[in-house]
Copies of this chain bind each other. A is one copy, B any other.
Amino acid sequence: MHALRFHECGKPAEVLRLEELPPPELLDGGVRLRILAAPVNPADLNFIEGTYGVKPELPAVPGIEGCGEVVESRSPDFQPGDRAILLRRAGTWADEVSLLAEHLFKLPEGIDPLQAAMLKVNPATAWRLLTGFGTPPPGSWILQNAANSAVGRCVIVLARTLGIRTMNLVRRAELRDELLALGADEVVTDDDSAVDSAKAALGKDRPSLAFNCVGGESALRLMNLLASGGIHVTYGAMSRRPLTVPNGQLIFKDLQFRGLWVTRWIESAPREELDAVYGKLAGLMGSGALSVPVAATYPLADFKAALEQAAGSARNGKILLVP
């Protein structure tokens, strides 16, 4: 088999190498998959750099998620030809992986493997944001920044299925029409005017739940727009700046600050809950209601080009490796 591996943490383009490795061992109750697609996520890059919440055991194969086709099974639950996504980190930047059947979610028929490869993290993060802190009642508003990110777009689509309205902050004003077409209720530019613009659109309503993937000033705007007693959830830090919380927002306004790391949920939720949520999300993906834009795909050998495009800021959609 072939895999991208790194022997020390560092800049991904510098430390990754395409290597030929022995085929992965197939355990009792295990499944060997041919990887069909695996995205390049910010979490993968942080993992390679050694700055993620989980440290790599070196040498390591990156790849936090992916979609594969069963080529050999020692589990009664899987047959060759079945397609599945990986619910555990297994190094998907490779042409093959082997893992226990209990760490897979079997896909229904007819899902695009590129889309399915992105099902584990972003749509599930959006679902947990909307439902993991008390699901807001239909008709109420939620608030988010980075609304054009893969998670942000999933939030817009999933909120609509729950009857929840979305107030979306984006850095680039020209994205407004595209997000409105996707189902956003309001889109405002994430600059000094954002709070006034959002208040004008909200009238007397104030959201009680906000999703922060940016930090810094943008996170502060979400605080200023939340209702008293509201919950401010951080799931990313695109600005690489910490959260600065004025004391009055905690003491007098009674805001709550929480975090979400979907991996913790995946590793701790009961299997029935995982099946229910991924079943629902896979159904929406299969029908085309839920989709993550794809900017480009690359074979493993072209990983440097993939990383370069993934690092570009104006990219519209995800980069995927297709081994």
Nearest chain B residue, comparing its CB with the CB of A231:
B256
Q: Complex: how many Å from CA A260 to CA B253?
A: 9
The reply to whether A254 and B264 contact each other, CB–CB distance below 8 Å, is: yes
Q: Complex: how many Å from CA A236 to CA B251?
A: 7
B residues near A259, Cβ cutoff 8 Å: 247, 249-255
> Taking the full assembly, how many copies of this chain does it contain?
2
Is A53 part of the contact surface with B, judged by Cβ < 8 Å?
yes
Per the 8 Å Cβ criterion, residues 249-284 of A in contact with B are: 249-261, 264
The reply to whether A244 and B243 contact each other, CB–CB distance below 8 Å, is: yes
Per the 8 Å Cβ criterion, residues 212-245 of A in contact with B are: 215, 234-237, 242-245
Nearest chain B residue, comparing its CB with the CB of A53:
B252
B residues near A237, Cβ cutoff 8 Å: 247, 251
Is A110 part of the contact surface with B, judged by Cβ < 8 Å?
no
Other-chain contact of A258, B53, B250, B261 (Cβ < 8 Å): B250
Is A134 part of the contact surface with B, judged by Cβ < 8 Å?
no
Count of chain A residues near B, Cβ 8 A: 27
Interchain nearest-CB distance for A309 vs B (Å): 25
B residues near A59, Cβ cutoff 8 Å: none
The reply to whether B250 and A257 contact each other, CB–CB distance below 8 Å, is: yes
Is A22 part of the contact surface with B, judged by Cβ < 8 Å?
no
B residues near A235, Cβ cutoff 8 Å: 251
Q: Complex: how many Å from CA A5 to CA B253?
A: 28
Q: Complex: how many Å from CA A259 to CA B252?
A: 8
Other-chain contact of A250, B243, B252, B254 (Cβ < 8 Å): B243
Q: Complex: how many Å from CA A22 to CA B260?
A: 58
Is A246 part of the contact surface with B, judged by Cβ < 8 Å?
yes
Is A76 part of the contact surface with B, judged by Cβ < 8 Å?
no
Other-chain contact of A215, B247, B249, B253, B261 (Cβ < 8 Å): B247
Q: Complex: how many Å from CA A281 to CA B54?
A: 46
Is A137 part of the contact surface with B, judged by Cβ < 8 Å?
no
Other-chain contact of A242, B236, B244, B261 (Cβ < 8 Å): B244
Is A248 part of the contact surface with B, judged by Cβ < 8 Å?
yes
Residues of A within 8 A of B (CB): 53, 215, 234-237, 242-261, 264
Q: Which 8 A-B pairs have the closest CB atoms?
A: A250-B259, A53-B252, A257-B257, A237-B247, A243-B245, A251-B259, A234-B250, A251-B261
A sample of 21 cross-chain residue pairs with beta-carbon separation below 8 angstroms, ordered by A number, consists of A215-B247, A235-B251, A236-B247, A242-B244, A242-B245, A242-B246, A242-B247, A243-B244, A243-B245, A243-B247, A245-B257, A247-B259, A249-B259, A250-B257, A250-B258, A250-B259, A252-B259, A254-B259, A254-B264, A255-B259, A256-B258
